[in-house]
Structures are given as structure tokens and as C-alpha cells.
Structure 1
Amino acid sequence: MNDTNLQNKALVWHYWQKINSHDNANIFSQAVHPNVIWHGFQPLRHLNGADAIWSQFWQPLLDAMPDLRRRPYFFITGHFEGGDWVAGTGDFIGTFANNWALGHVVIPASGSSVHFRFGEFCRVENGRISEIRILIDLPDLLRQSGMYLLPPNYGRDIWIPGPLAADAILLDKQDPLESEKTRQLVEAMIFGGLNKYDGKDQASQGLEQYWHPHMVWHGPVGIGSAYGLDEFKKNAQGPIVGAVPDRRGVGHQARIGNGRFAASTGWPSLAGTHLHPFMNWPPTGKRIGWNIMDFWKRDGDKLLENWVMIDLIGAALESGVDLLAKLPVL
């Protein structure tokens, strides 16, 4: 890893850690390019420019949760198709004291402490962030305010932990050979495993060759967590391939490896035809695309842990279901 990668990590880490400091607006403006592009989640999908991001996302969020802080547990960097990326995931934690004006809707305050997951990719050019892709688990936050947008999880319903070994905050140099090994394993698992589903039997994916016997998979509220491949196939992969049998991993804007860790994101990252029910969304027979982020840890020659962010509110809209329809509007 070169010095530029380390500088990129330092830039993004400082911005992440100082977002609730007294000088946060200035720190943000120094970290990002004035014309930074922001790709988010429903109902705030795209923003252009630092001023728009601050005024429409960060300032309303900080007004709603004045003591907001990040608790990242995964933080890596890498290079993909000409771009330098820093990526990570973890929790936002704070007191939901005031309503949050988000896009065209209002997220009602719970008046109590909340925690909700985020995933973020930052592309850095010439010492400043030029592109941000961010997802949060908004259905989980709404659930903590007493609003249930989704049915109970297919899998386990837990507060998602970070890596079991608490070893995924990578602020220093990593072995490039290990980084490449991790990236290649992830790509083999996606394109040689997940994408090989024959539309009938999950055994056609051959996932055992890529995943550790004690693998752990953590998805968003609505899907939940899975411990071991059997739970993963039943509660995570099963409902998705059951609803979208021709699903394929596509369209990555970033796919990076850093030591024994890797991450990818795509807008969309999964595409296929919605042929059967998913959750309580009726099938449409139409092509859909889901915006997703994945974060992995490799153990030896197998993938051990996986944290997944999905814009499920945006995914529901792809199937004609407006999960935010009952929320107050601005």
C-alpha cells in the first residue's frame, strides 16, 4: 500500500470521527471536493455538491440527534478501475431527540437512544473526497421509533456486532499479496458461486468452497443474521433467490481488498426479475435492481464474516411498494 492510500485513510477517518465536533461543518467542507457527488438511500438518493450534502443530510441528522457519533468497526482502502476508495461500516449511535427531516418525509423521533448501521464508500482524488456512497438501515431506525415497515426478520434479530476478533480497523499498511488474495476469493465467490444459481437448487452455487464452516452473515432488518451456511441458505440467500431466481451480482462501482478484508458496492449490485413474493411484496415480473454494500473478512482460504447493507426501502419501490407512504411529509 502506498503513502497515498494511507493519506486517503487518514482523510476519511478524520472526517468520520469529527462529524459531531464543534467545527464539523468546516471539517466536512475541507474533506470533500466542492462538487462531490453523493449517492444515498431512499428517500434521499442523489445529491450534488458539498453544500447540498451538508444542508440536506448532515445538518438535519445532527439537529435530530445532537450527540450523534460513529462507531466504525470495519475500515479499509483499495483501488478499483482507476479509483482510490476508502470503505467502512459500523453504527451510528445517539439520542433521537428531534424529528429528522429526510428528503420529502419526516422520521419521527423516539426520544431515546438509538443505534443504526451505516455503510460508506468514499472515492478520494487529489486529497479530497470526490464521491460518497452511503447506506443506512433506515427500517431499523424507524423500528426503534415504533414504526415497523417490514415483516419480522427471516434470520436472527440481534444488534449486529463487528468482527469477532475486533480487527477490521486498518489504519496502517497491509500486505498487498494478502489483499489480492482476499479480493480474488470474493470475486470467485460472487461470479463463480452466487452467480451460478441454476434457478432451482442452491447447491448449484457450490458455496461450501468459498465459505468457512462457521461463517457469519449479517444483513439489514427484514433479513437479519445467519450463523453457518445452513442458516445463510435458508434465511438470507434462500428468500432472495426464491423471489428473484435469475439474480446476478452486477454493476460494482468499487470492489477492493485490504489485507484479509474486502468490500464492494454497486448501484445496483444485484439485478434480476421479481418472479415470486419477497417479504410481503407481490411479484411484478419486472426487472429490478438493488443497491447493496458488502464487507467481508477472510480466514485462510475461506470467507468467515460478511456484513451487508441493502437499501430495502429503495428495493421495495423497485417492486412497486412505497414503504414510506405512511410517514409525515414535508
Structure 2
Amino acid sequence: MSHLKDAKSLILEFYKDLDAATPEEAAQILQRYTASDYRWRGSYPFDELNGAEAVAEAFWAPYKRAFSPIQRRENIFFASQNRLDGEATTWVCSMGHMLGHFHTPWIGITPNHKMTFLRYCEFHCIENGKIQESALHIDIMGILLQVGSRVIPEATGFVTVTPGPQTQDGLLLTEQEPDEGKATLDLIERMITRLIDTGVKTTIEDLKLDWRDDMLWWGPAGIGASYTQQGYLKGHTRPFEDGLEFIRHNGHIVRLGEGNYGGFFGYPSMTMRATGGYMGLTSDGDKLADMRIVDLYRRDGDRLAENWIFIDHLWFLKQLGVDLLQRHIDMTAPVERFA
């Protein structure tokens, strides 16, 4: 298990140096820790980038200029070999919030000059002591909510700053029993297979097979959080399944499990058709759109207890002709006045 320990140590050092770096130093830090052919997958409007310099220029330097000082508040941290490639690659996963004082514009969003939380989940593939590729999923709609944007539809769940695990044990800094990680990932895959086989149609009977009765589902901005199986149906699955038609599952990039924690991401995960009602959308006919999704889980015994979800809603909605980021920019643009 030394490869997992080494991978974790690398990412911990990387975060320490990156978080302390100035905007101008971000590229140098990335170059130090990443491979020469570094690949980066991001949320819209950043999308896919190649090379440390491109990633620093597009994301890290502008973000660091807008939000400072940045404090990483990590809730979940674990490492695992990727089950989807026969455990040929090693990945580290980190989830939490990046906290900063929002004081200059960022991607067209006017600052609120207040403490602001950017919810994130990041995956890193480690090869030969370097970060070969990363995927950074961020909840930009959560930033829009914090600055009081009027373009975000009312959530069906509870909107809050997403907490870490109830058990407060999500930072797996020490070696874990391999069988525990396998049990976690087996349970996650059993649940996902059942969901896909039903065409993404959830029932209480299905939930009882894999989830605790007092399950917690921590959804992204635009949906919010839900508590208990009945609350989950009311706050997420019924609005989601009634407003969208499941077309196909596109697979995942990784599936990981260590200790009682595990998860995956797809880029994209699913293809959907808007049938009307989801996040205020009307029906869009036969137009299809892809969803980039992250799921992280905490297992409690033989059931799943908590689930943290990231959906790149801005990218999904833009494919359907709804550019929420541009709508926000247009609504907050200064009005020209003429004499």
C-alpha cells in the first residue's frame, strides 16, 4: 500500500504549495508537480486544458486574484487504484471548500466583498511521482447564489454550505484495510447498476436495498440537500426524473474506494433530454444534453449513509440553450445613462 501513501503525500505537498502561491507563482507550482503532458478536466467555462501553464493561466491565477487569501477546508481525502482500468492507475480524491474573500471580478461575476465558499471535488492521477491528470469539479452556481444572483431557480432541496461527513472521519491520511475499500466500492457499484438498469427511476424499495433510512444527500446548487429516503425522493429524484428523460449512461473515468469512502466521476456521465420542469426549464423537444457528474459516498456497514454530488449545471443548461452565467452577467452589467 506504499503507492497510496506516496500518492497522498504528493498531493498534500502540492496543495500546501499551491494554496500558498501567489497568482503569478501558480504556473511554477503546477509545473513542479505535474507531468509534461498534464491533462486537466474542469467545469464550464474552463472545460479541458493541457499543460500546467494553460491551467494556471485559465483557472488558478484568475481565481487567486479574485479570492484571497484562499483557505482550503477539506472534508474528504482518500486514495485508491482505479477499478475501471484493472487497478493500473492510482488516484487521489479531495473534496471540500475553498474559502476566500471575493474582492475582484471573476469570470464575469461581480464580487460581493464577503467571505465566499467555492465547493470543489478534485481527482488526481499519479504516475512516476507526478500528477499525470486532474479533474476539478466546482460549484459555480453556488458562488452565484452567494452573491445574490437572481438567475438561479429555486432549489427543490435545502440550500446550505455543504458539511463534511457526520462521522468527521473523511480525511484518510493513514493506511486503510483494503477489504473495507473493496466493500465500499462493491456497494456503490451495486447501487449504480440498479439505478441504470431501471432507466434512472428510483423507488423506496430500491433505496432500502442500498441506503440507510436516514440517508443524507448533499446536492449541488440548483438542487440542494435532502435528508431521509422520503426527503430524497421529494427533494431530488422526483423533480429530476419527472423533468428529464434518461437517454444513456456514458460511463465513468474512475471508480475509487478506500475505507468507508468511495466514488467516481464521468466526463460526461449521462445524456439526458429535458422534458419540462427541471430547474425551471420548459421542454426542449428532442435536444439532448450531457451531464458531468461526481458522486462521493460514505458507507456505514452494509448501507450507504451519505452522498456528495457535483453536477456541472452551467454546462448542462448551456447545451439546452440556457446560459445562466451570461444571464447573470447581463443582469448585473452597469446601465449606461445618457444626458
Residue number in structure 2 paired with 1:197 = 198
How far residue 245 of structure 1 moved from its aligned partner, in angstroms, is 3.4
Please say if 1:5 is aligned against 2:7. Answer: no
Partner of 1:210: 210
1:261 aligned partner: 261
Structure with greater helix share of residues: 2
Give the superposition deviation at 1:326: 2.9
1:117-196, aligned counterparts within 5 Å? 117-192=119-194, 194-196=195-197
* Cα distance in structure 1, aligned partners of 2:16 and 2:75: 12
User: Structure 1 counterpart of 2:115, which letter?
Assistant: S
Distance, in Å, in 2 between the alignment partners of 1:214 and 1:228 is 4
The yes-or-no answer on 1:84 pairing with 2:85 is no
SS in 1 for 2:186: helix
User: Is 1:243 equivalent to 2:243 in the alignment?
Assistant: yes
Give the 5 Å matches for 1:23-62.
Answer: 25=26, 26-62=28-64
- 1:293 and 1:156 mapped to 2: Cα distance? 19
Give me the whole-angstrom Cα distance separating, in 2, the residues matched to 1:72 and 1:5.
Answer: 18
- In the alignment, the residues of structure 1 paired with residue 16 and residue 222 of structure 2 have an alpha-carbon distance, to the nearest angstrom, of 29
1-structure distance, mates of 2:89, 2:324: 34
Any runs of at least 4 consecutive aligned residues in structure 1 with deviations exceeding 4 A, and if so which? none
Let me know the Cα RMSD of the aligned residues.
1.9
Structure 2: state its 5+ residue gaps.
Answer: 331-339
Distance of 2:124 and 2:162 partners within structure 1: 23
CA deviation vs aligned residue, 1:91-136 (integer Å, no higher than 9, x gap): 0101001112x3xxx2211111111210111111111111111111
Give the fraction of aligned pairs with identical amino acids, expressed as a percent: 30
Moved more, 12-21 or 222-231: 12-21
What is the match of residue 225 of structure 2?
225
> Separation in 1 of the partners of 2:157 and 2:2?
42
Matched position secondary structure for 1:326:
helix
**8 A Cα contact 1:241 1:247, kept in partner:** no
Question: 2:333 corresponds to which residue?
Answer: none
**Do structure 1's residue 286 and structure 2's residue 287 form an aligned pair?**
yes
Q: 8 Å contact 1:97–1:111 — kept in the other structure?
A: yes
Q: Deviations over 1:231-253 (max 9, x none)?
A: 11111111221122335543200
Structure 1 runs not aligned, ≥5 long: none
After superposing the two structures, state which structure 1 stretch, 132-141 or 145-154, moved more: 145-154
Distance (whole Å) between structure 1 residues aligned to residue 299 and residue 55 of structure 2? 34
Structure 1 residues 31 and 151: alpha-carbon distance in aligned structure 2, compared to 1, 3 A threshold? same
Q: Secondary structure at the match of 1:146?
A: coil
| Structure 1 residues 276 and 22, CA gap change in structure 2 (3 angstroms) | closer
Do the aligned residues in 1 keep the contact of 2:264 with 2:295 (CA within 8 Å)?
yes
* Aligned residues of 2:150 and 2:328 also touching (Cα < 8 A): no
Residue 278 of structure 2 aligns to a residue whose secondary structure is coil
Assess, with a 3 A threshold, how the Cα gap between structure 1 residues 283 and 13 changes in structure 2: closer, same or farther: farther
Kept in 2, the 8 Å contact 1:155–1:236? The answer is yes
Residue identity in the other structure for 1:16: Y
- Cα pair 2:79 2:93 within 8 Å, conserved: yes
Number of the residue aligned with 2:302: 301
Greater CA drift, 27-36 or 48-57: 27-36
- TM-score (normalizing by structure 1): 0.92
Q: Distance in 2 between matches of 1:216 and 1:178?
A: 21
In structure 1, what residue type is equivalent to 2:209?
A: Q
Is the contact made by 1:195 and 1:247 (CA closer than 8 Å) also made in structure 2?
A: no
**Cα 1:130–1:149 shift into 2, 3 Å:** farther
Aligned length: 322
Q: Deviations over 1:31-76 (max 9, x none)?
A: 1123211111111111110001111110111111120121110011
Q: Match of 1:68, as an amino acid? A: I
